């Protein structure tokens, strides 16, 4: 019996071999392996035409059975979740400079006369700063150099008689009053500006002149006046160098916000019994050197060059430290028309108009110590004139005589002057009160100011001519508590933050609070006046009162 050919057996064998090879290849990626087909003996007796037909049939089957290459599994990439900032319509924050002078000469404001106790001095300072904070002031002008002496640890001049009762005696127990004042002011969100008299060497109430006094240590550049005071000669280069070094030393070593000079340049004529200032030695030296200016112009030039120098040196050291001047309120009689009175230009040799015209200051506080109504020395008329001379658009914050303005109702007069200042200079509102005694000695003044123009907190106006790096946006975390929302905020540049503005929205009503830079948390009640807390927001404020962008988060 013969074996009969099995139809398509060769084809089946070929298919099986191919499939097995494919499977082995998938299991052994890249590995070479010998595959053996099943041992099947096939006897074929076919014609050439049949063989050809079978080959074509096998090819067709192979085409259908060709393995599909393995594909890599598709992995969906996860995109980072980006939190879209919440944008809201925050209310505008009031901006106004609200300062008060604190005089230490003759113990006018601090420390009280005969108070040489360290702890008592600190208590008095805190009481004054708290008074300003509670009544929505935002700056203090603190006198640290009454007369070539120091209410701080100076490298150039002796400790002040007004601090310890003896020239050159340091506090005991020791503390640095300026460091203390700066820290306590900043805790309350108050700027602190140091106030210096550039040329006064000794005040008549400053005790006996001793070997510790600059009167003795710098006798070659100091002259005595007939009223018992001593004065540096403004024309002497040693005077200018010494005074400039005193200023720069404070700027470098203390975290102050401003440097402030008042109206004392060359002294008032009455200080020397009406006689001319005794500067014959320096005047004759100038003439021998070929100087051609008149004596009056030469004196003014001495002061002009000093003012320009101090401004530039402050900016070179710390750009954010503002330089302010508080000259006598009248430049010359007749400016503006109808104004009468003393002339700082001719008597003090202070060309304050030039300093304002040149932009050698950051803020200008002319002492406008008269009421609004009298035309010969009208507060508003003089303020308008000074503003017309403000060619560089610096801050113009007038000095107000809160202590003793001659008006039928002093309290109403001061409130009205603040309101008039807002109308006349709306883009940079502000005023400085002479002095804090006008508040400490008059509860009615405090009440009128707090309930009237200062009824809300205010940021200090920006100084756009002073450059500053943009502040980053803070981060904000809200945590729900039983009856409140606890807010915590952080900033990547904490040393650049001077204040915060924190906002809360109850229903449709927004409220804000200005906090000092050290405070970074606050609890908000969930309801207020029957309205639910909806949103909390916060922004950072730098040393020049520039704002960061805000971050806001919904509560409900």
d(CA 328, CA 54): 121
Separation between Cα atoms, residue 232 and residue 169, nearest integer Å: 22
DSSP-H helix ranges across 425-517: 437-440, 443-451
The structural domains of the chain, with segments of one domain joined by +, span 97-451, 475-554
475-554, what's its fold? Immunoglobulin-like (2.60.40)
DSSP state of 150: B
Residue 363's contacts (CB-CB under 8 Å, 6 or more residues apart) are: 97, 258, 322, 323, 324, 325, 394, 395, 396, 397, 430
Model pLDDT, residue 37: 37
pLDDT at 158: 98
Architecture of the domain delimited by 97-451: Alpha-Beta Barrel (3.20)
Q: Which residues contact 471 (CB under 8 A, 6 or more apart)?
A: 491, 493, 496, 497, 540, 541, 542, 546, 547, 548
Q: What is the rounded distance in angstroms from the CA atom of residue 508 to the CA atom of residue 531? A: 9
Q: What is the pLDDT of residue 374?
A: 83
Q: Is 297 exposed, middle or buried (0-12, 13-18, 19+ CB in 10 A)?
A: middle
Q: Quick one: tokens of 457?
A: 């907190």
pLDDT under 50: residue ranges of the chain: 1-47, 50-51, 54-55, 58-68, 81
Q: Beta strand 139-145 with 200-202: parallel, antiparallel or unpaired?
A: unpaired
Please give the pLDDT value at position 21: 38
Pick from 41, 52, 66, 54: which is nearest to 7 by CA?
54
């Amino acid at each position: 019996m013969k074996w009969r050919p099995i139809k398509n057996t060769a084809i089946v064998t070929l298919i099986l071999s191919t499939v097995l090879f494919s499977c082995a290849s998938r299991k052994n990626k890249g590995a070479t392996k010998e595959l053996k087909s099943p041992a099947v003996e096939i006897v074929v007796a076919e014609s050439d035409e049949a063989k050809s037909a079978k080959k074509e049939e096998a090819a067709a089957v192979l085409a259908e059975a060709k393995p599909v290459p393995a594909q890599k599994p598709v992995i969906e990439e996860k995109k980072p979740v980006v939190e879209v900032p919440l944008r809201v319509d925050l209310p505008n924050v009031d901006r106004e400079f609200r300062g008060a002078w604190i005089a230490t000469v003759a113990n006018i404001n601090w420390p009280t006369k005969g108070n040489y106790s360290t702890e008592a001095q600190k208590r008095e300072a805190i009481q004054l700063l708290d008074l300003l904070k509670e009544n929505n002031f935002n700056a203090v002008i603190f006198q640290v150099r009454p007369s070539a002496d120091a209410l701080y640890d100076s490298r150039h001049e002796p400790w002040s008689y007004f601090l310890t009762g003896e020239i050159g005696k340091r506090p005991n127990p020791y503390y640095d009053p300026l460091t203390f004042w700066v820290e306590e002011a900043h805790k309350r969100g108050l700027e602190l500006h140091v106030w210096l008299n550039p040329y006064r060497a000794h005040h008549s109430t400053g005790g006996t002149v001793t070997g510790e006094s600059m009167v003795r240590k710098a006798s070659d550049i100091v002259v005595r006046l007939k009223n018992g005071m001593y004065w540096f000669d403004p024309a002497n280069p040693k005077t200018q160098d010494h005074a400039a070094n005193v200023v720069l030393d404070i700027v470098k070593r203390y975290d102050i916000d401003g440097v402030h000079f008042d109206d004392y340049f060359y002294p008032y004529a009455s200080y020397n019994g009406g006689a001319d200032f005794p500067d014959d030695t320096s005047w004759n030296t100038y003439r021998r050197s070929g100087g051609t200016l008149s004596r009056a112009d030469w004196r003014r030039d001495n002061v002009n060059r000093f003012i320009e120098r101090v401004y530039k040196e402050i900016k070179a050291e710390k750009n954010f430290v503002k330089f302010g001047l508080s000259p006598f309120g009248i430049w010359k009689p007749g400016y503006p028309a109808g104004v009468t009175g003393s002339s700082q230009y001719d008597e003090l040799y202070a060309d304050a108009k030039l300093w304002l015209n040149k932009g050698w200051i950051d803020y200008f506080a002319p002492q406008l110590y008269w009421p609004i109504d009298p035309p010969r020395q009208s507060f508003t008329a003089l303020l308008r004139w000074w503003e017309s001379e403000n060619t560089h658009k610096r801050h113009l914050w007038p000095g107000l005589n809160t202590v003793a303005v001659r008006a039928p109702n002093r309290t109403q007069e001061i409130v009205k002057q603040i309101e008039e200042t807002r109308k006349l200079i709306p883009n940079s509102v502000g005023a400085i009160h002479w002095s804090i005694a006008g508040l400490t000695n008059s509860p009615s003044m405090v009440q009128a100011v707090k309930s009237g123009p200062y009824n809300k907190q205010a940021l200090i106006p920006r100084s756009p001519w002073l450059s500053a790096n943009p502040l980053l946006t803070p981060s904000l975390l809200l945590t729900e508590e039983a009856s409140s929302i606890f807010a915590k905020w952080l900033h990547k540049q904490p040393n650049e933050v001077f204040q915060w503005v924190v906002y809360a929205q109850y229903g449709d009503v927004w409220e804000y609070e200005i906090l000092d830079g050290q405070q970074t948390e606050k609890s908000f009640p969930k309801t207020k006046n029957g309205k639910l807390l909806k949103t909390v927001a916060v922004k950072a404020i730098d040393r020049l009162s520039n704002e960061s962008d805000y971050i806001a988060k919904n509560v409900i």
